[in-house]
Amino acid sequence: MELNEVQLMAVNISTVLKTILNDRISSSKIYDLVDEPNHHSFKIGFTAYNFFYVVFQYNLDIIGCYIEAGNNICIPLITDKNCYSDTVIEDYISKIKDELELRIPDKYLKAKGWL
């Protein structure tokens, strides 16, 4: 089966997430994929550090990442006004990693061998 451009982008970003976050990520899935004329979007949901459920979102060339906190509450990880898909994705995901680690107690990270 040949992947379309949006599916391929989602798979590539998912691979980069897994490469940079390594054993800090589990239960990764791609969902809400839309590939229609003038509308391309997808989400990648994953558990990070066995601590947070995180969503990476791509929508019309704008990317974002947030923690789902329940009750329709989302906490953005990168607070730049807009991050466009031409951003170096490896740098963006490294920033996500740093932001996640700021929100997790050092004692927990040390116990898991992540700090």
Q: What are phi and psi of 91, to 5 degrees?
A: -65, -40
Report pLDDT digits (tens) over 12-47.
999 999 999 999 999 899 999 998 888 999 999 999
Residue ranges covered by each domain of the chain: 5-112
Q: What span, in angstroms and rounded, lies between the C-alpha atoms of 109 and 115? A: 5
**What is the Cα–Cα distance from 114 to 23, expressed in whole angstroms?**
9
- Whole-angstrom Cα distance, residue 95 to residue 78? 8
Q: What is the percent of the chain with per-residue pLDDT over 90, rounded to a whole number?
A: 67
The lowest-confidence range among 58-62, 83-87, 90-94 is 83-87
CA distances from 73 to 54, 68, 70, 79 (A): 12, 6, 5, 16
State pLDDT tens for residues 39-50. 999 999 999 999
Q: Residues 64-67: contacts with CB within 8 Å, 24+ apart?
A: 65/92, 65/96, 67/100, 67/103
d(CA 98, CA 18) in angstroms, rounded, equals 15
